Amino acid sequence: MDIHHSLIIGIVLLTLLNLKQTLVIIGFLSAFKIGLVRLTQSIDMKPMSECLVPIRLSNIADGEVALVEPVNSLENKAIGLARTVVRSNKGRAMCRVLNPFTCQKHLQSGTVIGKLVPIEENSISAPFEENN
């Protein structure tokens, strides 16, 4: 399965390649999900903090790679989730959650915080490096 995601091209790269065209980037679009991401333990997040939390992945084979994206219902909980590429380790992984508000937040174990989007591992590339 081959899924392509939007690519944001930096001004440095455009300059290096002498591209004169104007590019319009339309946000990140996920084609579909393959599974859900749930918290494996309850967490209490301090105000204006972020933390790395253990997660359980559904419908993904051990060693398979996928993109974790936040679910829409997470906005109602006023919590942020970083888009992260994860490799399943017996259906488990880690991801980063954010509490940007001035009050403490509590999330129960088993809360669905994200969805898994399939990606091909060979489509992940290293960051562009300039030659000095």
CA–CA distance, 97 with 95 (Å, rounded to integer): 7
Nearest to 114 by CA among 60, 56, 63, 62: 56
Which residues on neighbouring strands pair with residue 85, listed in sequence order?
67
Report yes or no on 125 lying in a domain: no
Q: Which domain holds residue 79?
A: 31-120
Number of domains observed in the structure of the chain = 1
Structure tokens at 95: 């991801």
Report yes or no on 8 lying in a domain: no
Least confident interval from 19-28, 59-68, 72-81: 19-28
CA–CA distance, 112 with 36 (Å, rounded to integer): 7
3-class secondary structure, 89: strand
Report yes or no on 3 lying in a domain: no
pTM: 0.68
To which residue do tokens 């290293």 refer? 126
CATH number, residue 58 = 2.70.40.10
CA angle at 68 for the pair 48 and 80, rounded to the nearest 5°:
20
Q: For 86-121, write each residue's pLDDT tens digit.
A: 999 999 999 999 999 999 999 999 999 999 988 887
